[in-house]
Amino acid sequence: MITDTSSFDMVVIGGGCVGLATAFKINTRYPHLKIAVLEKENRVSAHQTGRNSGVIHSGIYYKPGSYKAKNCVDGRRELVAFAKQYGIQHDICGKIIVATAEEELAHMNKVYQNGLANGVEDIRLITAQDIRDIEPYCEGISGIWVGCTGIIDYVGFTKKLAELLEQKFEGSKVFLNTEAKDFTKDGNKTIIKTNRQNFETKYMIACTGLQSDRVARKEGTGTATAIVGFRGDYYDLSETGRSKVRNLIYPVPNPQFPFLGVHFTRMVDGSVECGPNAVFVFKREGYSKTAFNIKDTAEALTYSGTWKFFAKHWRFGLDEYRGAFSKPYFLKRLQKLIPSLTSSDIIPGRAGVRAMALSREGNMIDDFKIEAKGNAIHVLNAPSPAATAALAIGNAVQEMATQQFKLA
């Protein structure tokens, strides 16, 4: 029986980039607060933060006026300034978005207009010759140059946030191997029960990614949406394959499909990844093709929104599964952008899992979703570009906390 209880002014659950950026931003404005960050794994950024593509997104894709658009553009600029200040490995190398067929041009132009409306700097339309000049092995009929896109070490970024939180603010601390399991209200305070000890707090903020709906239900705030996981598999380019990619190459996204499509990304260590696909997972934090958890599977497949989503996108779903289990098929998709790529150029790599928030109607909740109730705030949906936007999301949650909790 756990009897040890620690008292903090605020507890943030989740040691990914959004959780730590939130804690850091609140502590920066209110340095007298003692803030605890609880992370169930033995390191920060163990899940979505540490398994994403490592791209600093520009903000070009997102609907003008959306939280994604504003927070991505603002967050990107702040992230780059933070990386420069604290020596986080990064490179603003630019990327190209490439149209390979006439039918893609209309949506490519819409993406470009979104970028202009969102205030994305250093973007321009490019020709087929421009594409070859920028990426000699890539073939397309038209494209977009996005000069402010880059790559970064998101794990290093998150570790630096944790380090600064403990160094700059007396009494604030990151607790690893500490999983929030249950919540009890005690007057105007919450007792958070973990596997190690209890935490008593006036205010609670949950930034729990793949577990966000469960934490919201357990804490009592609840949510009308459910998280369904989609695994993204990557291939690494071999030494010969790497010579065919200089920086970042993306396709024009299919507007009927909820993901960006497979693309090429040079990482900060010089390696090049290609992918990811997007396949339904039978375990929320399962990173292998055979990972299975009965609770995760049962929850996903008994939720009506899952089946309605499948019904809307079953053709894409089948296509994604073919890519997951067939290297030749995955290669064929990559060859749309780089026709000379061969099977020996790609090597199976890592995988990540996206937390997709679905409504009961089977609609993907596309924008960031943050809700407050009583003494709790929940970040219920923070899909890509949440890592790029983490500091801006932290600002938004800080402002919400100031109002909701009447901080001073």
Q: Where are the domains of the chain?
A: 5-48+155-225+366-404, 226-245+255-364
Question: Cα 188 vs. chain centroid, distance in angstroms?
Answer: 33
Second CATH level (architecture) for the domain 226-245+255-364 = 2-Layer Sandwich (3.30)
**pLDDT score of 1:** 44
**pLDDT score of 5:** 86
**pLDDT score of 324:** 86
Of the options 1.10.579.10, 3.40.50.800, 3.50.50.60, 3.40.50.300, the CATH number for the domain spanning 5-48+155-225+366-404: 3.50.50.60
Question: Tens digit of pLDDT for each residue in 52-66?
Answer: 999 999 999 999 999
pTM: 0.96
**pLDDT score of 127:** 98
Query: pLDDT under 70 in the chain at which residues?
Result: 1-3
**pLDDT score of 3:** 56
